[in-house]
Amino acid sequence: MTDFIFPWFKDAWTAIHKNEKKPHALIFRGKEGIGKLDFAAKFSKSYLCHKPLSNHLPCEICSSCQWFPLTHPDFNHIAPIENEDDESSKRKTVRKKNIAIDQIRELSEYLELSAHQEKGKRIILIEPADTLNQAASNALLKILEEPPENTLFILVTSQLQKLLPTIRSRCQLLELPAPSFEEARSFLMSKKITHDENLLSLAGGSPFNVIKESENQLERETVTKLLSQGHNIDITKVNYAILTHGLDWVLNLIQKWVFDLLLNFHAQQSYYFKNEEKNIQFQIKQMNLEALLSYINELNDLKKIASHPINQELQLQNIFIKYKQIFEPS
Ligand SMILES: [Zn+2]
């Protein structure tokens, strides 16, 4: 956690402290990789702090600040864990982690204990809240229906649509904006993270995605190279090591690529793959627009099941076969 608020969150920071109504539950929603967790942790620390500063930052001196986060008795961070019983965990590819029902049961027990401090404020941080599985969601809803006193729930997510509508309706929504490219760039520079401009575009301008993605360069290049072959893509030569980060990850990359195909078709420009623009413009000459649009729909549908324990290699093979067909004359 940093000791300052990221510049792109300053307005949200002011807004949340102007909030007169004291809700039981908040949702912090914003794009992936923009530092939402840092914001939520900073807010929690300041909320529990005994003497917050005039700009609402935590004092860093009081006992609450000293305890935060690991040994703070009134701060509970619920994050996804690996589920042993899950079929997918037996596979080599990335396992999907969920917030499970047992974690919410434990939370219930924790809430039954009285708050530790005199002021009695507690924070339950659930992050990312979109990883709550069905049973856990229902259990959380029960808690939110009769919220315990002096307890603030904070749900952090980039995928609000994955939360139960009944949970959403019980929370106050705070939108966390993404940084501008300039803000992201200077943030990465201040962290001494060298990156090329294209990676920032590919990460959709999210600085923490750049940090994460800078480690996946090899796999990213392999996927990009495959896609850039268009109709000449050789399905038999696909190296399935690209599934190291999960089918979800590969799908994301393909979705960005086809987005650029469409953007180039209509506006002769790229959004994510700026350095592949020439290549993409060459490809769209052979592209069938109708086939592309139905491929985009198929990818969206696949995305919904991409985290399920299915045969990921077979799925990916199909995705590439269909990709090839975009470039076939109809
Ligand atoms: Zn403090």
- The residue count of the chain comes to 330
Among 214, 229, 259, the domain boundary falls at 214
CA of 60 to the centre of ligand 1 (A): 5
Identify the band that residue 87 occupies on the pLDDT scale cut at 50, 70 and 90. very low
Place of tokens 């623009």: 277
CA of 62 to the centre of ligand 1 (A): 4
CA of 156 to the centre of ligand 1 (A): 23
pLDDT at position 309: 62
Taking alpha carbons only, the member of 207, 198, 248 closest to residue 97 is: 248
Establish if 2 belongs to a structural domain: no
pLDDT at position 20: 75
Measure the CA–CA gap between 300 and 253, rounded to whole angstroms: 13
Per the structure, the complete domain to which residue 198 belongs is given by: 181-214
Query: Based on the domain organization, do 36 and 154 belong to the same domain?
Result: yes
In this predicted model, which residue has the larger pLDDT, 162 or 89?
Answer: 162
Residue 138 in tokens? 């229902």
Query: Based on the domain organization, do 130 and 206 belong to the same domain?
Result: no
pLDDT at position 256: 94
CA of 66 to the centre of ligand 1 (A): 7
Establish if 171 belongs to a structural domain: yes
- 13, 41 contact by CB (below 8 A): no
CA of 57 to the centre of ligand 1 (A): 9
CA of 143 to the centre of ligand 1 (A): 28
Establish if 169 belongs to a structural domain: yes
Task: List pLDDT tens digits, range 91-148.
Answer: 444 456 899 999 999 999 888 876 565 567 899 999 999 999 999 999 999 999 999 8
pLDDT at position 91: 45
In this structure, the strands spanning 151-157 and 75-78 are unpaired
CA of 18 to the centre of ligand 1 (A): 19
Asked if residue 4 has pLDDT above 70, the reply is yes
CA of 61 to the centre of ligand 1 (A): 5
Place of tokens 């796999």: 219
Measure the CA–CA gap between 243 and 151, rounded to whole angstroms: 41
Query: Based on the domain organization, do 98 and 147 belong to the same domain?
Result: yes
Task: List pLDDT tens digits, range 189-232.
Answer: 888 887 777 888 888 889 999 988 888 889 999 999 999 999 88
In this predicted model, which residue has the larger pLDDT, 43 or 20?
Answer: 43
Establish if 186 belongs to a structural domain: yes
CA of 46 to the centre of ligand 1 (A): 7
CA of 51 to the centre of ligand 1 (A): 5
Query: Based on the domain organization, do 207 and 224 belong to the same domain?
Result: no
CA of 54 to the centre of ligand 1 (A): 12
CA of 114 to the centre of ligand 1 (A): 21
Query: Based on the domain organization, do 227 and 285 belong to the same domain?
Result: yes
CA of 150 to the centre of ligand 1 (A): 18
Asked if residue 67 has pLDDT above 90, the reply is yes
- 327, 320 contact by CB (below 8 A): no
What's the whole-model pTM score?
Answer: 0.82
Residue 136 in tokens? 């856990």
Asked if residue 21 has pLDDT above 70, the reply is yes
Query: Based on the domain organization, do 189 and 249 belong to the same domain?
Result: no
Run of H or E including 75? strand 75-78
Q: What is the CATH number for 278?
A: 1.20.272
CA of 65 to the centre of ligand 1 (A): 4
Q: What is the CATH number for 124?
A: 3.40.50.300
CA of 68 to the centre of ligand 1 (A): 9
Task: List pLDDT tens digits, range 42-60.
Answer: 999 999 999 999 999 999 9
CA of 53 to the centre of ligand 1 (A): 8
Q: What is the mean pLDDT of residues 177-186?
A: 93
pLDDT at position 116: 62
Query: Based on the domain organization, do 168 and 271 belong to the same domain?
Result: no
CA of 234 to the centre of ligand 1 (A): 60
Task: List pLDDT tens digits, range 302-327.
Answer: 887 766 667 888 889 999 999 999 99
CA of 42 to the centre of ligand 1 (A): 11
Task: List pLDDT tens digits, range 147-162.
Answer: 988 899 999 999 999 9
The domain total for the chain is 3
CA of 40 to the centre of ligand 1 (A): 16
Sign of CA dihedral 91, 94, 99, 103: positive
CA of 45 to the centre of ligand 1 (A): 7
Task: List pLDDT tens digits, range 272-304.
Answer: 998 898 999 999 998 999 999 999 999 998 887
CA of 52 to the centre of ligand 1 (A): 6
